[in-house]
Amino acid sequence: REHGEDSLLGITEGDSALGAMAQARDIKHIALMPIRGKIISALKNNLDDVLANEEVKSIFSALNCGILDKYDSKKLRYGKVGIMTDADKDGLSIGCLIITLFYRLCPQFLQEGRLYWIRMPLYVLKYDKKRVYYAFDEHERDELFQKYGTKCEVSRKKGIGENSVQDNEMAVFGEQKRWERLTVDDWDDFEEKIIMMMGKDTTDRKEFVLQNVDFTHLWGE
């Protein structure tokens, strides 16, 4: 079935996200596909193993766009793909693996700006039935406190599965949604970094981590 350029295939983290998500989405423009655990690493495994992976086969069967030199955006069933994972380190890891998959199998999809990171709310600030606001990190939560006050009911989400239908309607698909389009300004730089961070060779990755990560919080100052 053809859905058009405005349609989106949302790749969700597990089946637990599907219930409330499915009820909140616009069924004409948004389809949801759950994946189990962490998808195969496209740069650490050989191409045959990547293509044999069930999640990979399901994603590209749904998109119908082909891969590598057979990629054709005119055949896409969905104009966009949305990464829909928990707002934690595992969710970030899964998101990075999905980006790596598209880089390996159809970099044109990335270059065309079709991949989105759909951020999940971390905090719900409920002031009354009509005034409900969502924050996607601690900084935004504090900004909402400054703007509307601290006298409200605050809840923190542990994962997508905790979202109610109303949460998804407002903060995932509605007026407070945060869809971040993943664009690449410098393809050569992006390619160098994704191979370093997601590839088989660990030497450069270890050096990058040692130079750029502050470990002092692990043992105190």
Q: Which H or E element spans position 8?
A: strand 8-13
Query: Which of 15, 49, 54, 90 does the annotation list as catalytic?
Result: 90
Using CB atoms within 10 A of its CB, is residue 73 exposed (0-12), middle (13-18) or buried (19+)? middle
Assess contact for 9 and 31: CB atoms under 8 A. yes
Q: Is 86 a catalytic residue?
A: yes
Q: Is 88 a catalytic residue?
A: yes
User: CA of 18: how far to CAs of 7, 9, 41, 119, in Å?
Assistant: 18, 13, 24, 16
Full DSSP string of 93-136: HHHHHHHHHHHHH-HHHHHTT-EEEEPPPSEEEESSSS-EEEES
Using CB atoms within 10 A of its CB, is residue 133 exposed (0-12), middle (13-18) or buried (19+)? buried
**Quick one: pLDDT at residue 206?**
82
**Quick one: pLDDT at residue 1?**
45
Q: What is the pLDDT along the chain (221 residues), one digit of tens a residue?
A: 446 788 999 999 877 668 899 999 999 999 999 988 789 999 999 999 999 999 999 999 999 999 999 999 999 999 999 999 998 989 999 999 999 999 999 999 999 999 999 999 999 999 998 999 999 999 999 999 999 999 999 999 988 989 999 999 999 999 999 999 999 999 999 999 999 999 988 887 888 778 877 767 655 54
**Quick one: pLDDT at residue 220?**
52
Q: Which H or E element spans position 141?
A: helix 138-148
Q: Which residues contact 44 (CB under 8 A, 6 or more apart)?
A: 198, 199, 200
Strand, helix or coil at 49? helix
Q: Is 137 a catalytic residue?
A: no
**What order of strands is seen across the sheet that includes strand 115-118?**
30-35, 8-13, 80-84, 115-118, 179-181
**Quick one: pLDDT at residue 209?**
79
pTM of the complete model: 0.90
Assess contact for 15 and 38: CB atoms under 8 A. no
Query: Which of 88, 112, 140, 204 does the annotation list as catalytic?
Result: 88
Q: Which H or E element spans position 204?
A: helix 203-212
Query: Which of 13, 55, 167, 169 does the annotation list as catalytic?
Result: 13
**Quick one: pLDDT at residue 36?**
82
**Quick one: pLDDT at residue 221?**
46
- Write the secondary structure of 190-201 as one string of H (helix), E (strand) and C (coil): HHHHHHHHHCCC
